[in-house]
Every structure is written in C-alpha cells, then in structure tokens.
Chains A and B, each alone.
Chain A
Amino acid sequence: MDCACGNSEQNKEEYLAPLREVLKNYDGKQKDLIPVLQDTQEEYGYLPAEILAEIAAGLDLPFSRVYGVVTFYSQFHLEPRGENIIRICMGTACHVRGGSKILEKFKDELGIEADETTEDLKFTMESVACIGACGLAPVIMVNDNTHGRLVPDDVPEIIAQYE
C-alpha cells in the first residue's frame, strides 16, 4: 500500500508525529485503545490504514484486534470525512415527528445518501440513533451545534450556514 504521506522516511515521520504525541499520553495498554483511536481520529479526521498499523504497534496489539475494535464502533471512520458532519436524528421522537422527511430533504440538497460524503469534502451526512434532544424533535446536529424543531424548508438555510 502506498503511504498517504508520500514515500520518504522523513515525510512518514512528519505524518506520524501527531500520532506519536497522542500515544505519549497513554500507558500503551489495551485499555487505552479506544481513547487513542478517538484522539487520533481527532487529529487526522479519520483513521487511515497506516495509522492503524502504527497504533497496533504502539499499543503492542495485533492489527486484527485493532481493526475489529475500529469497525465495531460507529464513531470510527476508515475513510476521509467531510469538513462538517451532519447527524440527522432517527430516534423515536424524531421519527414520529417527521425526521425522515428532514433526512430526505438533506439527501436532495446535498445529493448524497446517508453515511456518504459530498465530493468537495464539505459535508458528511449520517443518520444516527437518538441524540437525546427529543424535546426539539425533529432535530439534527451539525458538528456540535443542535438544530431543532425543523421542517424540510429549514434545510437549505442550515446547509448555507456551513458552506
């Protein structure tokens, strides 16, 4: 596999530097795996294959186990993600208050399906289980901001705020 950083040893070290910093904060045991993955994803935006291999080595864990953990939790992503993450709540309260219409509107506006990223890497859209803001149903989150009590017509304006 070609390394995303280019091929030279120096580039590779530069590329891995943020990961090395993350690993310094932990004891290097299996219990640290999930927090290390979380911090690393925070640094890189996603979890590239070569980074996972380094994490496995850094925590002295088999790569197969690291891969198993990464793919179990929906928070972790193996592919690059959009600059803005739109999470559309599909919880019960949102469902009965028309959450799926909001999802449809986002699909139309962005031209992508749930769990996809726009080509310009501006937006990644996810349909998620309850985000715990049921009083505002139907509700979505864009990055850390909550937008509630939506109707489909609100969607273009929300997208425009983040473009």
Chain B
Amino acid sequence: METITLKINDQEVEVEAGATVLDAAEKLGFDIPTLCHHPDLEEHGSCRVCLVEDAQSGSLMASCITPASEGMEIELDTELVEDARKMNIELLLSEHPNDCMTCDADGNCELQSLAYQYGISNPAFGTMEKAQFAIKDKNPFIQFNPNKCILCGKCVRVDNHIQCSDAIDFANRGSESVIATPLEEGLGGEHSNCVFCGQCVEACPTGALSYKPAQGKGRVHEFEKVETTCPYCGVGCQLELRVKDNQIVQVGSIYDKDHPNPLGEACVKGRFAYDFVDHPDRLSKPLVKKDGELQEATWDEALDYVAEKFSEIKDEDGGAALAGLASAKCTNEENYLFQKFMRGVLGTNHVDHCARL
C-alpha cells in the first residue's frame, strides 16, 4: 500500500494513500471538530468547522474531505482557523433556536458542544427567534424540526446509502434549503418511502430529528445505557437501550464492525416496538386456568401441566394430532431445538415457523 507523509502542527505522520487530512490528524491524536463528517458515510464537506490551514498556501481547507498529499504542512491552531471555525458555528447558531433548556437533545447535541468548546456565549448574529419552517410529520415515530437542522446531510446519506430507503433528500436552494420527503409531505406522508428505521435520528448531530415516543421523557445524562440483542428476529441486531428509572426511553444504535448490524441498523420493530416491555398487561409469570379462571402459577406447575396435556393427546390421538409454530424472535438454535422436540419427542411433522407466514 502506497503511503503519504505529511506534517501536522510540525509533527510528521504517515498515512495510506486516500486518507484525508482529518484521518492523519486523528492518527496523531488531534481532535478536530466536525459536524457533517461521519466515518461510515461518504464525505460531504459542507459544515466547514473542520477547517485547517495549509501552511504553504495560507488557505483553509475542510480536513474531512481533503485528501492528504505528500509533503503537506498543516496547521490546526492558527488565528485564521480559529476565527473561521468560530464564525461558522456562530452562523449555524444564528439559524438555530436557542432552546437547549427544553430540547430533548440537550447534552447530546454536537452544535451545543461546539458552542461550549468555542466559548460562544454571545453569538455575533444572535439565534433564531422565529421559526422559519413548520413541522409537518404526521407519524407516531419520528419528528423532524427543520428549524433545528444544520443541513449537514448525515440523515440523507444514512437514508440513501445505508438504509437505502431514499425517503429523504435535500430540497429547495440556498437559505430555503431543507431536508425533505417528496412534496415535503413529511415522514409518513403519502409519497414517503420512510420505513422508520430511526437511523437518521441516530445520525442527527442536533435535536432536529427526534424520537417522538421519547419526547420529554429524559435526556442523555439521565440515561443508563444497556446493550442488548433485539428480541424480534433471528438476525440478532445489537441495540443500545437508553433507560431511565428502569424504563426504556429510546432504542439507540451501536456501531461495531463485529456486530450483525455493524452500521447501527435497525428496523421499525427493534427501534420502536419496545412498549411491551413495561406494559401492565405483559405476562411475567405463567397463568394456568383453574375453575375457569386464569391464575398465577409457578413454572414447574405450568410446564408439568402442559406436559401432561401433551402426553394425553399423543396417547389418545397420536403425535400427528399436535402441531407447533416457532417464532422468529427465537435464535436459530432455539428453533432447531423446537423442531427436534416436536419431531423426536412429540412425534409429529407438523412444525412451521412464523417467518413463513
């Protein structure tokens, strides 16, 4: 593999050809702020906060999208760099409401963090005072508030290139630009392709995209994060439960190349269908019908009861009188065991699986 040597803040670094200046800086342990950059997505180069200075020409470049080249000398901390980054953050703030106090993304907002990092307590152009756009979503899952959107386009890239739903894209032009569904009908609109995978919400660096069911139910610093396997199907997606007071508030993504969903993918069920977990009607103990009434029982009682009834049927009418339907929520191994049990123990070939229905 061809390598390239360059200097960043006078430190030499060697990177593979094709690496960006940002990659090289990160290799040296420098922390360059970014908003539109995402390691799993094609670069966009639009937010202009990852600017660095090319010492030879004195010009600024977006480090996330500029390929490293041999002999480059990059400066990260010049006045030109600092002021340009700061101004671009101030410009974003001028088109963003100052409502961190009540925003669900408080503490989990990259724009907020950068404003803090750059000490922008009094942005040069103020903040957005009157909402420019209406909120149009009529679905129960995801809310898009264009007023909080910084047009980094991460949601579009996740949607188009990872989820491949093509539900959203940039629309309009210039300061009217907005991320939109066809005809701006909103997610869940008549022509919307959205499958509510929630990937866009996970990618959003601000509070522009949020989970509706989680609104007002807690913010990032209040969450306990629990890694778990999605219970819905055999893929085994890894998910991050964000839990407050022992209740799941939202289901987030985990990015790990060793996972079956390495880019944090999920489906609408894994992302949103968790309300059964704490539902009052959920069965947490077996029930056995006694005297016409369902009554709580121990597992031993319940299993003995089922075994006894199965045996009766098998003895009277033969194993073929029994049939079993397995669940996609179980793992492959569990499904294997199930059919083995049906065939080997109960003596029936009547086994099927819900995934076929």
What is A's interface to B at a CB cutoff of 8 Å? Answer: 1, 49, 52-53, 56, 62-68, 71-72, 74
What residues on A are CB-neighbors of B184 within 8 Å? 67
Q: Which residues of B in the span 159-214 have a Cβ within 8 Å of any Cβ on A?
A: 160, 166-173, 180-184, 190-191, 193
A-B CB contacts (within 8 Å), total count? 47
Interface contact B166-A65, CB-CB below 8 Å: yes
Q: In the assembly, what is the distance between CA of A53 and CA of B171, in Å?
A: 16
What residues on A are CB-neighbors of B171 within 8 Å? 67-68, 71-72
Q: Choose one: A1, A64, A74; the contact of B166 (CB below 8 Å).
A: A64
Q: Choose one: B167, B172, B173; the contact of A64 (CB below 8 Å).
A: B167
Q: In the assembly, what is the distance between CA of A81 and CA of B166, in Å?
A: 30
Q: A53-B182, A68-B180, A72-B170 are in contact. List 19 more A-B contacts (CB 8 A).
A: A1-B190, A49-B183, A49-B191, A53-B191, A62-B166, A62-B169, A63-B182, A64-B166, A64-B167, A64-B181, A64-B182, A65-B166, A67-B169, A67-B182, A67-B184, A71-B171, A71-B180, A72-B171, A72-B173
The distance from the CB of B160 to the nearest CB of chain A, in whole angstroms, is 8
What is B's interface to A at a CB cutoff of 8 Å? Answer: 160, 166-173, 180-184, 190-191, 193
What residues on A are CB-neighbors of B160 within 8 Å? 62
Interface contact B190-A68, CB-CB below 8 Å: no
The distance from the CB of A125 to the nearest CB of chain B, in whole angstroms, is 20
- Chain A's closest residue to B174 (CB) is A72
- Chain A's closest residue to B166 (CB) is A62
Q: In the assembly, what is the distance between CA of A52 and CA of B160, in Å?
A: 19
Helix, strand, loop or mixed for chain A's interface?
helix
Interface contact B190-A71, CB-CB below 8 Å: no
Known: A49-B183, A71-B171, A71-B173. A64 touches B193 (CB 8 A): yes
The distance from the CB of B65 to the nearest CB of chain A, in whole angstroms, is 21
What residues on B are CB-neighbors of A74 within 8 Å? 173
Q: In the assembly, what is the distance between CA of A63 and CA of B189, in Å?
A: 12
Interface centre among B166, B169, B181, B190, by most A CB within 10 Å? B169
What residues on A are CB-neighbors of B168 within 8 Å? 64
The distance from the CB of B62 to the nearest CB of chain A, in whole angstroms, is 22
Q: In the assembly, what is the distance between CA of A56 and CA of B169, in Å?
A: 14
The distance from the CB of A52 to the nearest CB of chain B, in whole angstroms, is 8
- Chain B's closest residue to A64 (CB) is B169
What residues on B are CB-neighbors of A65 within 8 Å? 166, 169
- Chain A's closest residue to B180 (CB) is A67
The distance from the CB of B74 to the nearest CB of chain A, in whole angstroms, is 34
Q: List 27 A-B contacts (CB under 8 A).
A: A1-B190, A52-B182, A52-B183, A53-B182, A53-B191, A56-B182, A62-B167, A62-B169, A64-B166, A64-B167, A64-B169, A64-B180, A64-B181, A64-B182, A64-B193, A65-B169, A66-B182, A67-B169, A67-B182, A67-B183, A68-B169, A68-B171, A68-B180, A71-B173, A72-B171, A72-B173, A74-B173
The distance from the CB of A8 to the nearest CB of chain B, in whole angstroms, is 20
Q: In the assembly, what is the distance between CA of A1 and CA of B169, in Å?
A: 21
Q: Choose one: B166, B172, B193; the contact of A71 (CB below 8 Å).
A: B172
The distance from the CB of B182 to the nearest CB of chain A, in whole angstroms, is 4
The distance from the CB of A51 to the nearest CB of chain B, in whole angstroms, is 12
What residues on B are CB-neighbors of A72 within 8 Å? 170-173
What residues on A are CB-neighbors of B180 within 8 Å? 64, 67-68, 71
Interface centre among A49, A65, A68, A74, by most B CB within 10 Å? A68
What residues on A are CB-neighbors of B191 within 8 Å? 49, 53, 63
The distance from the CB of A78 to the nearest CB of chain B, in whole angstroms, is 8
Q: In the assembly, what is the distance between CA of A72 and CA of B190, in Å?
A: 22
- Chain B's closest residue to A1 (CB) is B190
The distance from the CB of A92 to the nearest CB of chain B, in whole angstroms, is 19
Q: In the assembly, what is the distance between CA of A85 and CA of B184, in Å?
A: 26
What residues on B are CB-neighbors of A56 within 8 Å? 182
The distance from the CB of A63 to the nearest CB of chain B, in whole angstroms, is 4
